[in-house]
Each structure stands twice: as C-alpha cells, then as structure tokens.
Amino acid sequence: MSKKVAFWIFLVGTVSSAILFLGLTWDTHRQIEALSHVDKLSNNVVEGKRTFEKYNCNDCHTILGFGAYYAPDLTKVVQRIGADGIRFRIKDPEKALASSWRKMPNLKVSDAETDNLIAFFTWVGNIENGDWPPQDSKKRLSRSEERMVAGVGVSPGAAVFQSRGCMNCHALHGTGGTFGPALDAIGRKLSLEQIEHYIKNPKAVNPKAMMPPQTALSEKEIEEVAGFLANLK
Ligand code: HEC
Ligand code: HEC
C-alpha cells in the first residue's frame, strides 16, 4: 500500500465515523425529551435523585448501567419488586435481604425520602432506553421466573405470587424473602379456602400473625394465588 492510499483510507474513515457519530448524537438529543418523559420530572423525582446521591446508593448499585457492580441494577426496580417491595427492603434490609450473602446496610432513610426515591425509580424505570440494562430485558426471564417455569409452570396465580409482593417475605424453590415461611409445600398444610382466608386477614386465623392483610389484591387475584399455592404439595 502506498502512503497516498493509506492517507485516503485514514481521511475517509475518520471523516465518515465523525459524521456518523455527530449524526447519532444529534438524533439522540432530538428525541431525548420524548424518550425520557421530561414532562413527568416532578419535584419528588428530583428530590429522589438527591436522596440517591445523599446516601451514595451508587457506591454499591448501578442505575442505567452507571455505578458500582456489587448490588443489583436499580433501573427497573419498580417493575421488578414494586413500590412496597422497595419500601420493605430500604426500611429493614437486614431482614428483607437476610437470605443473600451480599449485605445492604440499614441507611436509616426516612419515610419521606423513601417515597421520593420510589418516585425517582418510577421515572427512571419508564425511560425508553432500548432494553438497557439487559439484565432486566423483557426478552429475558428473571432467575425466579426461570425457576418457577422449571418448577411449577406459569399460571396466573404464580404471576400474582411473583408480582404482588408475596416474594418479599416468602420463598419458593429457594428464591424470595425469609421473613415468612417458605411455601413450597403449603398445599399439604392448608386448603384453598384456608389460604384465601389467611391472605385476606392473617390475624383472624392466627392472632399473633405478623403478616399484614394483603389488601392491595383483588378478589380474583386472591383466588388465583390461593389456587396456585393449594396445589403445591
Ligand atoms: C454497601 C452497599 C449498598 C448500599 C450503599 C446500598 N445498597 Fe441496596 N442493596 C445492596 C445489596 C448487596 C443488595 C442485594 C442483596 C441481594 O439480594 O443479593 C441490595 C438490594 C437493594 C434493593 C432490592 C433490589 C432488588 O432487585 O431486589 C433495593 C431496592 C435497594 N438495594 C435500594 C437501595 C437504595 C435506595 C440505596 C441508597 C439509599 C441503597 N440500596 C444502598 C447493597 C447496598
Ligand atoms: C411483610 C411480609 C409478608 C408478605 C408481604 C406476605 N406474607 Fe404471607 N406470611 C408472612 C409471615 C411472617 C407469615 C407467618 C405467620 C405470620 O406471622 O403471619 C406468613 C404466612 C403466610 C401463610 C400461612 C403459612 C403457614 O404455614 O401457615 C400463607 C398461605 C401466606 N403467608 C401467603 C402469602 C401470600 C399469598 C402473600 C402475597 C399475596 C403473602 N403471604 C405476603 C409474611 C408475609
């Protein structure tokens, strides 16, 4: 190759990559307001971001892929465990995350700060970021979903169990919380009616119950999740 050819390859390569790079940057800026739903940036969201910085959550967690890799990415945490799940873990991580070898300290975050953090996570979770970060891609099953699929098959009741906070306190196939008992064989102990009853009002069955009544669930969801659990024998 002559010097002249090398020069032209260098020039054309550099100029075309620069044009491509600038074009894509311009295109991103053109769409950024719509993709990130800037209109939903409320004061609570902004305060939540400040709280996230105040407690250095980024020292252990990533968000949108940025941060430290010790703890799970929090971009889609609202979709993954719901607002109640987040509240429970931040308030008492020693108990809520007791089953894990990784530890999160109790940072004594106030209730108001937690609400702002949830607003911040909700906003971040709805940014249209092309399935980033990939561990939360809808195309990929989560670890507990994989186990559920392998273990019991997907049913509406299994979906309720997973998405409506039961797993904050209960485990199935070794995945989930440890505040309440594992429910792998609950169908041997309780009937469908007894399970429904327990979900609606634990204290009526067991005056010392620590499980809160699951008032956020509809009748149909209670029926589905109770049906699913009654079959675990
Ligand atoms: C010293 C490290 C550390 C700091 C600081 C920290 N966390 Fe965590 N956090 C963890 C670890 C470790 C886990 C996961 C434990 C497990 O399940 O393996 C976790 C889990 C969580 C979860 C549950 C995630 C999920 O998908 O189940 C949430 C929500 C969370 N942290 C929020 C926060 C917030 C908000 C802050 C800042 C106020 C924070 N964390 C600060 C280490 C930390
Ligand atoms: C905040 C934690 C928490 C949440 C959330 C929770 N539970 Fe519980 N659950 C418990 C605890 C603790 C117990 C053990 C008995 C008690 O103290 O109430 C229990 C007991 C049970 C029992 C009876 C188990 C037995 O061996 O008698 C069933 C059934 C049950 N839970 C189902 C559910 C379902 C279904 C959901 C979700 C809709 C759910 N729980 C959500 C904490 C929780």
pLDDT in tens, 191-200: 999 999 999 9
| Angle at alpha carbon of residue 188, lines to 185 and 193, rounded to 5° | 110
More confident position, 100 or 142: 100
When comparing pLDDT for 80 and 66, which is higher?
A: 66
Tokens of 92: 């008492």
Pocket probe mutation, ligand 1, options 60, 113, 175, max atoms within 8 Å of Cβ: 60
Kindly state the percentage of the chain with pLDDT values over 90.
Answer: 57
Which residues 6+ apart lie within 8 Å of 198 measured at CB?
A: 190, 205, 206, 211
Contacts of 215 (CB under 8 A, 6+ apart): none
Ligand 1 atom with the smallest distance to the CA of 101 is: 18
The 10 Å Cβ neighbour count of residue 102 is 9
> How large is the C-alpha radius of gyration of the chain?
23
Long-range Cβ pairs for the range 60-65 (8 Å, 24+): 60/104, 62/133, 63/124, 64/124, 64/127, 64/129, 64/132, 64/133, 65/132, 65/133
Give, in order, the Cα–Cα distances in Å from 209 to each of 37, 107, 114, 213.
43, 27, 26, 10
Q: Say how far apart CA 226 and CA 217 lie, in whole Å.
A: 12
Q: Is 166 in the pocket of ligand 2 (CB under 6 A)?
A: yes
The most confident of the ranges 32-46, 66-80, 159-173 is: 32-46
Residues contacting ligand 1 via CB (< 6 Å): 55-57, 59-61, 70-72, 77, 80-81, 86, 89-90, 97, 100, 102-105, 107, 109, 117
Which residue's CA is minimally distant from atom 41 of ligand 2? Answer: 166
Q: Nearest C-alpha to atom 29 of ligand 1 is from which residue?
A: 86
How do residues 147-190 score in pLDDT, each as one tens digit? 554 444 567 888 888 878 888 888 888 888 888 899 999 999 99
Whether residue 199 has its Cβ less than 6 Å from ligand 2: yes
Q: Give dist(CA 164, CA 174) in Å, integer.
A: 18
d(CA 174, CA 37): 38
Dist. CA 173–CA 144, nearest whole Å: 8
Ligand closest to the CA atom of residue 221: 2
**Ligand 2 contact, 212 CB (< 6 A):** yes
Residue 6: its pLDDT value, please? 96
Q: Which two tokens stand for residue 119?
A: 């607003």
Residue of the CA atom closest to atom 43 of ligand 1? 104
Residue 183 Cα, ligand 2 centroid: separation in angstroms?
9
pLDDT at residue 152 in the model? 47
Atom 22 of ligand 1, nearest CA residue: 89
